[in-house]
Structure 1
Amino acid sequence: MTRLVELEETGPRKLDPSDIDGEKGDVAICQCGLSDSFPFCDGSHRETLDEDEEATYVYDGSDRSIVERVVTRDDRDDE
């Protein structure tokens, strides 16, 4: 499975001591792209547990859709 993720930042986020979870003592970085506290994990990845390995998904809030085809600029130039 893949996910289309829209990001707006143009640079890195530097971690500082306040980013460490005082209870757990760790920092979890989001790898699914769905976290409301991106780049930190907030557990949103649980929504992806039933995704089909062969599908590409786009998430819009709590709605999830399967994408049939992703077209890039290079793809359009070939048509």
Structure 2
Amino acid sequence: MTRLVEHDATGPRKLDESDLDPEKGDVAVCQCGLSGEFPFCDGTHRQTDGESDGVCYRYVEADGELRRRRVERVELADGGGADPDE
């Protein structure tokens, strides 16, 4: 499976003591790119259950929910493109 992830940030986020969860005592960093609290995990990755190998997905917000959409082709800004399964 492949996932298109769009971020607005242009640099890293440095973690410090204030980023620790006072109840859990740990920091969970998002690895799926879908968290509403990025760079921290908020459990949104559970919505990726059921993704198939060889398929590219894009997650979009619609009606207040995150919905999975299959991507057939990726178009690049320079006019090039690729099929996700190539």
TM-score w.r.t. the length of structure 2 is 0.81
Specify the SS of the correspondent of 1:58: strand
Higher helix share: 1
Instruction: Say whether residues 1:65 and 2:80 are aligned partners.
Output: no
Name the count of aligned residue pairs.
76
Specify the SS of the correspondent of 1:65: strand
Residue 74 of structure 1 and its aligned partner are, at CA, apart by 5.8
Letter in 1 for 2:11: G
Alpha-carbon RMSD across the aligned residues, in angstroms, is 1.3
Letter in 2 for 1:48: T
Higher strand share: 2
How many percent of aligned residue pairs carry the same amino acid? 59
Where structure 1 has 5 or more consecutive residues not aligned to the other structure, the ranges are none
TM-score w.r.t. the length of structure 1 is 0.87
Residue 71 of structure 1 and its aligned partner are, at CA, apart by 2.0
Where structure 2 has 5 or more consecutive residues not aligned to the other structure, the ranges are 82-86
Counterpart residue number, 1:75:
80
